[in-house]
Homo-oligomer: A and B are copies of this chain.
């Protein structure tokens, strides 16, 4: 039993953080929000150069062959910095799904493209009609009648559905079922796993977003003066942010554990992921609310960076299964008549 990250995992996260601090500033995000298409080819190229696009791709296809636990700290950094690119969706979720398929020419070619940054893959799932980044992806993974399709985006009719987070480029899609694009006859298990991985990626980003908003609020409370003193001396504001810290402290291990559960195919994986999504969402939403309150009227302006991360948190709360969906999964687990609850059950499945 060892619930710590390996040193190389921490070092990789540190390196990615340094990279993102330099390359993904709030200014870049604001610029991309105004740019048609909303994406930066340069940034994508840099992500590929860092090896991040190929993290999940097996080494034989030019990737790094890493897993969900390796990803989790990186995904948190992506949240913290608000990376305005579909890195997690394409290179973790979609690549993870493709890697599960039996070897084929398409699979190999696509994974190689993902790894070298030349290809992007989007993914739709059963719990929402919205597909992120469908327009600029080369392929969109979609399910119909229990079968899995990899449809070229050129074969899809799309309607833009604007998100409050302009970094998320959402579409509803219409497509004809063309048999040559079918890549698996049994989609259900693959799609469920991809959905869980997507929810996990969102959870990790929400952790990062919560931390970012907390940090912004701490900074603001130290700089902003009222009645001649920094507003941060007010106990009410201290307690607002202490509440966020507590919420975050107890969301973090839940998300880490969900990553381990997916990576190891734990039988109650779905419950762990749902728990993670709820906990991370609620930490981020509380961070948004309380950071807003600490910022006062300034927090309500476009000018302050807080609004960027607040909107990202609101959007990810809704994406990859909203709280009602995930709470229902946890509830079903806890209220099952034969539920294994109580002390000693936390790592039960990992024991087997």
Contact = CB atoms under 8 A, between A and B. Distances in A.
A236 B239 CA distance: 8
Contacts of A235: 234-236
Interface in A236-268: 236, 239
Contacts of A239: 236
Q: Is the interface of A mostly helix, strand, loop or mixed?
A: helix
Interface in A215-242: 234-236, 239
| A234, A235, A236, A239: residue with the most chain B Cβ atoms closer than 10 Å | A235
Contacts of A236: 235-236, 239
Interface string A12-36: 0000000000000000000000000
A239 B237 CA distance: 11
A236 B243 CA distance: 13
Nearest to A239: B236
A222 to B, nearest CB: 18
A234 B234 CA distance: 10
Contacts of A234: 235
A279 B92 CA distance: 48
Nearest to A237: B235
A208 to B, nearest CB: 29
A234 B236 CA distance: 9
A235 B237 CA distance: 10
A236 B234 CA distance: 9
A51 B66 CA distance: 83
A297 to B, nearest CB: 20
Nearest to A236: B235
A236 B240 CA distance: 10
A294 B155 CA distance: 66
Nearest to A233: B235
A239 B235 CA distance: 10
A138 B234 CA distance: 59
5 contacts: A234-B235, A235-B235, A235-B236, A236-B236, A236-B239
- Which 4 A-B pairs give the minimum distances between C-beta atoms? A235-B235, A235-B236, A236-B239, A234-B235
